[in-house]
Amino acid sequence: MALTGLDIYKKLPQTNCGECGVPTCLAFAMKLAGGQAELTACPHVSEEAIVELEEASAPPVRIVTVGKGDREFKVGGETVLYRHEKTFVNECGFGVLIKADSDDGEIKAKAKQANELSFDRVGQTLRADLIAIKAVSDGARFAEVVKKVSGITDMPLVLISDDVDVIKGALECVADKRPLICAATKDNYEAMANLAKEKGCPLVVSEPSGLDALAELAEKVAALGIKDIILDPGADNGKDTLKNLTFIRRAALRQKFRPLGYPVITWPSNEEDEMMEAVLASVHVAKYGGIIILNDLEPWKILPLLVLRQNIYTDPQRPLTVEQGIYEIGSPNENSPVLVTTNFSLTYFIVSSEVETSKVPAWLCIMDSEGLSVLTAWAAGKFVPERIASFIGKCGISDKVKHSKLVIPGFVAQIKGELEEELPDWNIIVGPREATDIPAYLKKWSA
């Protein structure tokens, strides 16, 4: 059972030094109990206390790592039910299901598609995370397919079979890549747990008969020394899956119920209705799937899901930003227009996209506004004449152009006069208010 704030406080050094970022040890203890701080923030805590407080300071949903190397995938670690309360920590993962009895061409095509799938959106690369391989009947064929897929990609693998010997055979060639074993059931959990422990692999615990039975089975597996557990509550329909996902997350976060304090794997796959599969997957992204396995990764299906995941898992307290500097759009020369705006990622990508659409090469000066959009940055004193002038003077744009025309966003037209005083050598021009008007504006410039 999780310790209370007072229990934790008794084990802290009680120096009230403030080095953890909290004024008192009691306040720090309360944050630890609520999963809002990490024990490592205290520089004076003893080794004995660290051992005793490990459970209390751990996130209510355990972080589990699948795979190794550049493509390893972390899931879990969540501390809040709703993103606006703080933020979600580790993105849910998308995987594609490959059945071992499929023909080699289909297997290769699915694995290659998953490996190469990549989309760029507001400066981030969106891609799938795992490949799940399901044994159907032949253990030798399963091992062959696992080896084949492993040779195509470094993506983490999910090995699916209730037969311990089948999983053991496949692990011979991929155990060093730390695949996720799926699954331990009430009939095989001891053997599966021993195998997972021997190979150092995370393990799915599957029990479709109810959450009480799932929690009991997870406790039994944990007692055998398995810490990295993924839960599979199973369900016959979308309503029951959503109910299970919600109850599991609430039990872990609100009640600190450790047996359900693990990420969850879901299977929204629907071979008869691909649109319904996508709809169910979107529900699992929001509430509260950890690993979501799909039948395929066709762009029409996976791209909206990746964008939804990106939106949900973006920290609402930390706006996406791009680096301050001068960006070349097209191949600008000394006579090309110069525009300035903030480093809010969405602002940059919208403006740069519209400049590209205009076919007019331009210099886009991106100023650090701590990730705020134009109006918000202006209101917060981050995009004001003196700061803009300092940036333009230091960024080196004057060495790249012969003219002295600087285009500012139309929404801050009111700073034109002050900016002209700060930059007397520049002619300040008020640009369009809306980004969609930039192409027509720039075409007039070049006319």
The H or E element spanning position 379 is helix 374-379
First to last CA, the chain: 73
Pick from 165, 194, 196, 183: which is nearest to 230 by CA? 183
Lowest mean pLDDT among 135-139, 187-191, 329-333: 135-139
Task: Return all residues near 418 (Cβ < 8 A) that are at least 6 apart.
Answer: 384, 385
Instruction: Find how far residue 374's CA is from the centre of its chain.
Output: 26
Task: State the helix-helix crossing angle for 345-358 and 438-446, rounded to 10 degrees.
Answer: 50
Pick from 280, 241, 282: which is nearest to 264 by CA? 241
Beta strand pairing call for 64-66 and 73-75: antiparallel
Q: How far apart are CA 35 and CA 30, in angstroms?
A: 9
Q: What is the pLDDT of residue 46?
A: 87
Tokens of 169: 């055979």
Task: Return all residues near 226 (Cβ < 8 A) that are at least 6 apart.
Answer: 193, 196, 197, 203
Q: Residues 1-59: pLDDT tens digits?
A: 457 788 888 889 999 999 988 899 999 888 887 666 778 789 898 888 887 777 666 78
Decide if pLDDT at 270 tops 80.
no
Higher pLDDT, 49 or 355: 355
Answering whether pTM is above 0.75, one says yes
Are 192 and 167 in contact by the 8 Å Cβ rule? The answer is: yes
Tell me the pLDDT band of 446, cut-offs 50, 70 and 90.
low
Amino acid at 36: Q
Are 291 and 93 in contact by the 8 Å Cβ rule? The answer is: yes
Task: Return all residues near 35 (Cβ < 8 A) that are at least 6 apart.
Answer: 59, 60, 79, 253
Tokens of 193: 């747990």
Q: How far apart are CA 341 and CA 324, in angstroms?
A: 10
Are 159 and 179 in contact by the 8 Å Cβ rule? The answer is: yes
Q: What is the mean pLDDT of residues 225-241?
A: 92
* Torsion (CA) 93, 99, 104, 106 in degrees, nearest 10: -60
